[in-house]
Structure 1
Amino acid sequence: MILVKDFKRFEYDLLLGPYRAAVLLFVSFLDVLITANDEKLRDPEGYEAITQLHHQMDDDQSGSIDRFESTDFLKEDMQLGGLDRAQRERAFHHNHDELITVDDLWEAWFASEERSWTTADMVNWLENTVRLPQYSSVFIEMEIDGRALSRMAVANSTYLSSDLGIKNSVHKQKLRLKALDVVLFGFSGSNSSLFKDIALSVLVIVLVTVLLVLKIQRTRSHTQMEQLTAKLSQLKSMQSHFEDVQQKLFFFYSTFKINLKMTLRSSFTFTICAKHEKFEAFVSAAVGLKSNKIVFLLI
């Protein structure tokens, strides 16, 4: 049971000016209590929508939604996984309630803050969370409040197309899934958006840092490559110079060796010839002396 808060929902219907404050002050003193069962009679369309949602999630039609069925619904119908699915499963089962009946689902929706959203809250949700601002005028004109969310969440419902006049199938599906998320698990758009913004900011910072490190590393590698190329060119130049010197030394050594051989050969020949001439002169002298002796003896 909750205090009557429905008058806040009709805040935009009350008289403007000083009468609004007076009316709200009067309402705040009312001590009328309305139960979830009473609300079934006041909002039969909303209760019927909750019943249909429960029927869609209750695969075995046992009258209760267990954790396996809720997990399967999150995975298959809402395409959620990981941390998002775990958080919504805890919110749906209130961390400890293993079986959810139609009345449990209705009482949870009846007591939720989202059901008490005003038309302004709905327009804000439509524009900033659903991202379909083109239908804001429809919501304002028809004074759509939080009670309509359960009707929007029902699959194959004619409420979106017939009552709200939304014909685009993609827009209807998007609006239905967003409304379904709010009805079953509560609104977490602000926290989720903040978390996503923080995660995106961190991701951008990490990406920029990685790019800077890669750029620095690339510049450093390019510089090192240029230095290595210069050293390699220098080594090749030194190798070429060394080979030229080596060839010159080899040529000089070969020439020197040939000249030395020729010099030694010429010197040896000259020595032999000189000795031969001396020997011939000696022989001639000896022969001449012997002849003189013979003549002398004959005389």
Structure 2
Amino acid sequence: MLCCRTLLWALCASFLQPGRTHSPTETAPEDPILIEFCRIDKVLCHNADELLSFEAVMSIHKQMDDDANGNVDVEESDEFLREDLNYHDPTAKHSTFHGEDKLISVEDLWNSWKTSEVYNWTVDEVAQWLITYVELPQYEETFRKLQLSGRDMPRLAIANATMTGTLLKMTDRSQRQKLQLKALDTVLFGPPLLTRHNHLKDFMLVVSIVIGVGGCWFAYIQNRYSKDHMKKMMKDLEGLHRAEQSLHDLQERLQKAQEEHRTVEVEKVHLEKKLQNEISLAKQEAHRLRELREGTENELSRQKYAEQELEQVRMALKNAEKELESHSNWSAPEALQKWLQLTHEVEVQYYNIKKQNAEKQLLLAKEGAEKIKKKRNTLFGTFHVAHSSSLDDVDHKILTAKQALSEVTAALRERLHRWQQIETLCGFQIVNNPGLHALMAALNIDPSLMGVSRPAPTHFIMSDDLDDLDEEIISPITMQSPNLSSLRQRHVDSQLALGSQRLVEGYLVSQSEATPQIHYRPSKGPESLRFGVFPPVRD
């Protein structure tokens, strides 16, 4: 195979130099090309393939050396790059071609070619160069059959009709010119960057694809996590809204119950006044009948008036019994009522503080949720929200506000039930009272004894057990009285029984022999109003 290849290149050489009829190994000693080649490179001068490559390098040098002085200067190389290779900015190529030597001879060009990376290319590398750089993959099979390696590259860089037409069978002139220019560029300036960094670019492309796919997957996971977290946060926010609505409804029911309670109290006061008026009328009627009886001389008339007077007294006693039945048998001291009312007002202040803190936490949670919604509407809002701790912070605020509202609602229900039971047992009003300052004035309490004036704590959590209220007492100066009605105190008419007794005793004076005597004997209950008619005492 090698022998056939040598004969084939010898045939090519005969076409290049028509006067040469022998093989390179049989060339006459007086051949100037062989002599020059042996002078430059004694080791390779007897190799036929290397001789053909040397002739091609000499042809390239001659093409660049316009003045034929044997050296290629900077101007000649610049003109060659611009006109023959069509480089518009040959500055970078100058540094590669000339280096520090401004004059390039045939020997310099040959030595530069021998040290080039392309010189040691294999057949596969040349075929890859043909496909990727020259972009003529249809001739790959021909290149492989001819076993063209990197050492044969100079022969492709010169205009050789036998090489391109006969051996490579290129019929298209543009393809021949393209192959020649690419080969010339490779011989003069080394392997192209595309071929040199092909593996690096492939590696970078693979890495970029992996990073892109990983980034898309990570963004998808974070987006899904953000959506799930937002759904959970919205559910918590809805629960918080329901808790707020429950507290609002409970407060409305409390206000309605207080209004009904005040209405009942007003009706009760009116009823008591009505009973007192009836008693006063009965008293006045009895007094009038007494005067008529005393002014009548007839015994029968006096007896008649006495019976009418007795009937009026009985009616007054029945009204007094009804009024006494409306009161409980046991009456608590008035001071106890005021102290219980004061205790209730202090507890209300603690409840208001707890309620204000819960409302602040609710407001913070709502503001955080609104900020999250606004951020999600921006371009990178979802990605930013997913990687920040704002979701966790808002979720924590929502849960805290929800718990605070639940505690406030439970405390309100417990307080209402407890004080209702206390009012039922004591028989007087506690929730409806004159207010904190009026109670302190009535009990002669110094405001300084209630504690030193200080700002209300921003984070005050009150337990459901209200027995610890005496440990932290807020100054009454900093507390505002609740908006309650001033008509609050229920008066126990303790003098009603005494007034009835005085009414009866006023009529139990000594009368004439025909006048019946009334005896009043008090006992321990409403049934204690007992009376009897005794026969008149005769003189």
TM-score by length of 1: 0.57
Q: Given the alignment, which residue of 137, 140, 148 partners 1:136?
A: 140
Is the CA contact 2:153–2:183 (under 8 Å) kept in the aligned structure 1?
Answer: no
Map 1:152-163 onto structure 2 (within 5 A).
163=165
Which string of whole-angstrom CA distances, capped at 9 and with x for unpartnered residues, describes residues 70-115 of structure 1? Answer: 9xx9x9669xxxxxx8xx887x269x62646465455412553524
Counterparts of 1:203 and 1:262, CA distance in 2? 87
Counterparts of 2:179 and 2:267, CA distance in 1? 107
Counterparts of 1:292 and 1:54, CA distance in 2? 175
Number of the residue aligned with 1:224:
229
1:251 aligned to 2:256?
yes
Counterparts of 2:3 and 2:256, CA distance in 1? 112
1:215 aligned to 2:228?
no
Counterparts of 2:179 and 2:211, CA distance in 1? 32
1:97 aligned to 2:89?
no
Counterparts of 1:77 and 1:13, CA distance in 2? 40
Is the CA contact 2:127–2:144 (under 8 Å) kept in the aligned structure 1?
Answer: yes
1:114 aligned to 2:118?
yes
Which string of whole-angstrom CA distances, capped at 9 and with x for unpartnered residues, describes residues 161-209 of structure 1? Answer: x856375979976995586256403366665223223323433343344
Gaps of 5+ in 2: 8-36, 67-72, 303-539
What is the one-letter code of the residue matched to 1:283? R
Counterparts of 1:118 and 1:124, CA distance in 2? 10
Counterparts of 1:197 and 1:261, CA distance in 2? 95
TM-score by length of 2: 0.35
What is the one-letter code of the residue matched to 1:288? R
* Greater RCO (CA < 8 Å, at least 6 residues apart): 1
Counterparts of 2:232 and 2:199, CA distance in 1? 49
Instruction: Mark the CA change 1:105 to 1:251 in structure 2 (over 3 Å): closer, same or farther.
Output: farther
Map 1:45-84 onto structure 2 (within 5 A).
46-49=57-60, 62-63=75-76
What is the one-letter code of the residue matched to 2:126? M
Larger Rg: 2
Q: Given the alignment, which residue of 123, 126, 132 partners 2:127?
A: 123
Number of the residue aligned with 1:28:
none
Instruction: Mark the CA change 1:126 to 1:239 in structure 2 (over 3 Å): closer, same or farther.
Output: same
What is the one-letter code of the residue matched to 1:136? E
Counterparts of 1:170 and 1:253, CA distance in 2? 104
Provide the alpha-carbon RMSD of the alignment: 5.1
Instruction: Mark the CA change 1:230 to 1:146 in structure 2 (over 3 Å): closer, same or farther.
Output: same
Instruction: Mark the CA change 1:151 to 1:142 in structure 2 (over 3 Å): closer, same or farther.
Output: same
Q: Please give the secondary structure, in 1, of the residue aligned with 2:256.
A: helix
What is the one-letter code of the residue matched to 1:193? N
Q: Please give the secondary structure, in 2, of the residue aligned with 1:186.
A: coil
Is the CA contact 1:114–1:146 (under 8 Å) kept in the aligned structure 2?
Answer: yes
1:13 aligned to 2:5?
yes
Q: Given the alignment, which residue of 274, 285, 294 partners 1:289?
A: 294
Instruction: Mark the CA change 1:263 to 1:42 in structure 2 (over 3 Å): closer, same or farther.
Output: closer
Instruction: Mark the CA change 1:270 to 1:177 in structure 2 (over 3 Å): closer, same or farther.
Output: farther
Which string of whole-angstrom CA distances, capped at 9 and with x for unpartnered residues, describes residues 17-67 of structure 1? Answer: xxxxxxxxxxxxxxx94637x989975555444566799xxxx963466xx
Gaps of 5+ in 1: 1-7, 16-31, 79-84
1:237 aligned to 2:249?
no
- Residue identity (%): 20
Instruction: Mark the CA change 1:115 to 1:258 in structure 2 (over 3 Å): closer, same or farther.
Output: same
Aligned residues: 248
Is the CA contact 2:74–2:102 (under 8 Å) kept in the aligned structure 1?
Answer: no
Q: Given the alignment, which residue of 268, 275, 283 partners 1:270?
A: 275
Counterparts of 1:203 and 1:42, CA distance in 2? 43
Instruction: Mark the CA change 1:244 to 1:197 in structure 2 (over 3 Å): closer, same or farther.
Output: same
Q: Please give the secondary structure, in 1, of the residue aligned with 2:247.
A: helix
Instruction: Mark the CA change 1:64 to 1:76 in structure 2 (over 3 Å): closer, same or farther.
Output: closer
Q: Please give the secondary structure, in 1, of the residue aligned with 2:295.
A: helix
Counterparts of 1:213 and 1:240, CA distance in 2? 40
Which string of whole-angstrom CA distances, capped at 9 and with x for unpartnered residues, describes residues 186-236 of structure 1? Answer: 366665223223323433343344334333322332232122111111111
Which string of whole-angstrom CA distances, capped at 9 and with x for unpartnered residues, describes residues 277-297 of structure 1? Answer: 22222123223313449x99x
Would you tell me which structure has more helix in proportion to its own residues? 1
Counterparts of 1:282 and 1:172, CA distance in 2? 149
Is the CA contact 2:133–2:194 (under 8 Å) kept in the aligned structure 1?
Answer: yes
